[in-house]
Amino acid sequence: ILNESAKAAGFTNTAAMWNSPFDLSTRDTPPEINIMNEVQNVQNKLMPLYKELHTYIRHYLPVLYPNATDITSDGPIPGHLLKSYNGDDWSAFYDTAKPFDELEDIESEIMKALHGQNMTVKGMFTKAYRYFKYLGFEKAPSSIWSKSIFTRVWSRSMICNPSTAIDMNDDNDYRIKTCEILGIKGFKQAHKLLFDMYYQFESKDQPLLLHDAPNPSFKTALSNAISIASGNIDYLKSLNLLPENYSISENSKINSLFKEAIEDFVKLPMYLVADLFRQEVFEGTLSPEEWNEEWWRLRSNLQGIKSPLKDEKKDNDVLVNTYVTQKHSPAVRYIISYVIQFQILRALCPDTPSNMLFNGCVLDKNIMNKIEIIMKEGATIDYLTALEMITGDRQFDATPMIEYFSPLYEWLKKYNEENGLYIGWDGKGEKFKESQLPKLGAIQTGVTRNEIGNEEKIAYPGQDCSKGEECLLDSICNGTRCICGEGLFTLEVAGTYSCVKGNPSDAGFGNGSDGLLIGLFEQPSSSPTTLPPSTSSKSHEEETTESATKKSNDCFKNNFSFTFLFFLISYYLF
């Protein structure tokens, strides 16, 4: 059916129609490039890094799955052991296999700074907006701030995904819809989404059908490059989100790249497998009886993954792959986007050393002016022309991506060589030697995992610090307990202490010691007393009436007290 639709549109088959936005062909003009050949050439250049990563993950599997008998030291990995549906996401291995258990954490530093500045999610977007204004972009439409959703509203049902910038095509009405949270990820996403909005906004003078980027892959690549640059250490320092003396360690650098590689980079071969298989089906060169065999041949050659079971021709494992059966679009668009984002990043950061490209750079106004010109063109130019205007080249180039991951690549090569691991999956099927297997109880720093994050060495406001515990959350140790530092006030909420800058007792319900008590507490029980004998007797009706009146008054007092307490809490918190 898909082929019939493609032929009706003037293409030879569905694969040709799907590839047309990327090879720049139409029903009347031939392709400018052979997109599948270009993508395969890029994949071949990236294969050394993929093989090193594959080798590293593979040598953890016998330790994690001691009862598995089909794991070899030099062969493909059984697909079901990779903890993801398609075997293309290895992020579940991060905590187990990350190269270093590094105590230094940029995420916690930035979170601490955001809290210290009383930053909100919308505040992160305003910081990103100021950056774009500094770079020379126009004033954003007011609808961005009045009609956008930046974070989840818990009082209503919301569909958060996908996060997107929206052109309402209605008199300068642009919006952002996302559910971000405070942190470095949300901060970088704020830059990405604002840039997406600006792409739509800058191209508003073009005809309606030519608004936005030449194709989604180019726009995603460009906004991702901006997102990487927004995480630059110097840029974050300029916003007081990192201390001036902060520097990222080599161990943290490798961990960060490792995490990105097992989340995103390892997907690239799967994308290629999906489209190579579908191309054969659409071209009619592959019969249904050959589907399963060809599917696993491609996966073995390109991914280093094999079927968990002995293949039979009657099986059709390909039908459960989401890229093949659920997404009626070319998967190579993700490869194109991922590759050219690093080409664009290299063009944005021409002076950044290769081993620091992962850190991005502080963007230059002159370079961004060039980007803005491309954005104003909208889809009136093709994506290769736009790429050439930025990078000076119309060709896909894997070199910047290799530069980006070079610290991780060098570390993997050294580690795999020192441990005598076989690179690739075309060996004789030999088992691992005991000396080749990692020891999960120890880490590269020589510190055992259960020592890291030991909460006996830290204390929070109000807790004991007499044994040398470090006081957190702006508190200091007075020799016995953590107390709030000079100029700070104590806020106690349901038995939990925090240090705040303003005097919380100004909001009411002070505890008499420059603090504020919020919570429901049991009334202390008074000692029983003996009532004097009654001097007058009352009828049952009188007693009932008085009892009802007393209960009514007590209920009114309790309701009034609770309402008043709720009002004060809301006033103080919101």
pLDDT per position as a tens digit, 329-339? 899 999 999 99
User: Which of 207, 218, 220, 225 is closest to 385 using CA atoms?
Assistant: 218
Inform me whether the pLDDT recorded for 439 exceeds 50. yes
Bigger pLDDT: 411 vs 554: 411
Count of Cβ atoms closer than 10 Å to residue 154 Cβ: 7
Tokens 């690239």 locate to: 268
CB atoms within 10 A of CB 261: 22
| Of 372 and 170, the one with more pLDDT | 372
**What average pLDDT does this structure show over 461-480?**
83
Residue 559 pLDDT greater than 90, yes or no: no
User: What percentage of the chain exceeds 70 in pLDDT?
Assistant: 83
SS3 231: coil
Nearest-angstrom CA–CA distance, 75 and 481: 58
Spatial separation of the C-alpha atoms in residues 476 and 485, rounded to whole Å: 6
Q: If pLDDT is split at 50, 70 and 90, which confidence band does 506 have? A: low
**Structure-model confidence comparison of residues 469 and 446, the more confident one:** 469
Q: How far is CA 558 from CA 550, 551, 563, in A?
A: 12, 10, 8
| Lowest mean pLDDT across 146-160, 419-433, 528-542, 543-557 | 528-542
Structural tokens at position 342 = 């690093």
pLDDT, mean of residues 360-374: 94
Provide the CB-side half-sphere exposure for 330 (13 A, CA).
Answer: 27
pLDDT exceeds cutoff 70 at 95: yes
pTM of the model: 0.76
Q: State the Cα–Cα distance between residues 301 and 504, nearest whole angstrom.
A: 65
Contact 110, 242 (CB under 8 A): yes
Per-residue pLDDT at 310 exceeds 80:
no
Query: In the predicted model, is pLDDT for residue 550 greater than 90?
Result: no
Q: Tell me what pLDDT residue 55 has.
A: 97
The answer, yes or no, to whether residue 397 has pLDDT greater than 60, is: yes
Q: Which amino acid is at 182?
A: L
Q: What is the pLDDT of residue 191?
A: 97
Q: Which of 439, 504, 497, 422 is nearest to 465 (CA)?
A: 497
SS (HEC) of 77-118 = EEHHHHCCCCCCCCHHHHHHHCCCCCCCCHHHHHHHHHHHCC
pLDDT at 532 over 90: no
Angle value at C-alpha 21, between 18 and 25, nearest 5 degrees? 90
Contact 229, 349 (CB under 8 A): yes
Distance CA 573, CA 565 (A): 12
Lookup: tokens for 29: 């003009």
Is 333 annotated among the ligand-binding residues?
yes
Mean pLDDT, residues 542-555? 45
Residue 320 structure tokens: 């459960």
Task: Give the pLDDT mean for 138-156.
Answer: 90
Backbone angles phi and psi of 464, in degrees to 5? -75, 135
CA 99: distance to chain centroid? 20
Maximum average pLDDT range among 1-5, 101-105, 489-493, 506-510? 1-5
Choice among 304-313, 408-417, 547-556 with the minimum mean pLDDT:
547-556
Q: Residue 320 has what pLDDT?
A: 83
Average of per-residue pLDDT across 217-246: 95
Residue that has been written with the tokens 């570390």 in this structure: 411
Task: Mention every residue, 6+ apart, whose C-beta is less than 8 A from residue 251.
Answer: 99, 100, 102, 104, 444, 445
Summarised one tens digit per residue, pLDDT across range 379-390 is 999 999 999 999
For the residues 223-241, what does the mean pLDDT come to? 95
Q: What is the pLDDT of residue 569?
A: 54
Pairing of strands 515-518, 489-493: parallel
What confidence score (pLDDT) does residue 282 get? 92
Nearest-angstrom CA–CA distance, 266 and 189: 22
Nearest Cα neighbor of 180 from 231, 119, 240, 113 is: 119
Residue 472: pLDDT band (50, 70, 90) is confident
Q: Which residues contact 228 (CB under 8 A, 6 or more apart)?
A: 188, 341, 345, 358, 360
Could you give phi then psi for residue 476, rounded to 5 degrees?
-130, 155
pLDDT at 202 over 50: yes
Q: Do 383 and 374 touch, CB atoms closer than 8 A? A: no
> How many Å apart are CA 460 and CA 482, to the nearest integer?
7
Instruction: Say how many CA atoms lie within 13 Å of 259 toward its Cβ.
Output: 10
pLDDT at 497: 73
Residue 58 has a pLDDT of: 96
Surface-to-core class of residue 51, CB atoms within 10 Å of its CB (0-12 exposed, 13-18 middle, 19+ buried): middle
Indicate the SS3 state at residue 166. Answer: strand
> What pLDDT is stored for residue 464 in this prediction?
81
Judged by average pLDDT, the poorest of 163-172, 376-385, 404-413, 463-472 is 463-472
- Is residue 424 within 8 Å of 303, Cβ to Cβ? no
* b/e code 89-116 from CB counts within 10 Å (16+ = b): bbeebeeebbbbbbeeebeebbbebbee
Residues 387, 27: contact at Cβ < 8 Å?
no
pLDDT at res. 361: 94
pLDDT of residue 303: 95
Residue 96's identity, in one-letter code, is T
Provide the CA 3 distance to its chain's centre, in angstroms.
37
HEC assignment per residue over 367-411: HHHHHHHHHHHHHHCCHHHHHHHHHCCCCCCCHHHHHHCHHHHHH
Residue 546 confidence class, pLDDT cut points 50, 70, 90: very low
How far is 469 from 477, CA to CA, in rounded Å?
Answer: 8
| Mean pLDDT, rounded, of the chain | 84
pLDDT higher at 31 or 510: 31
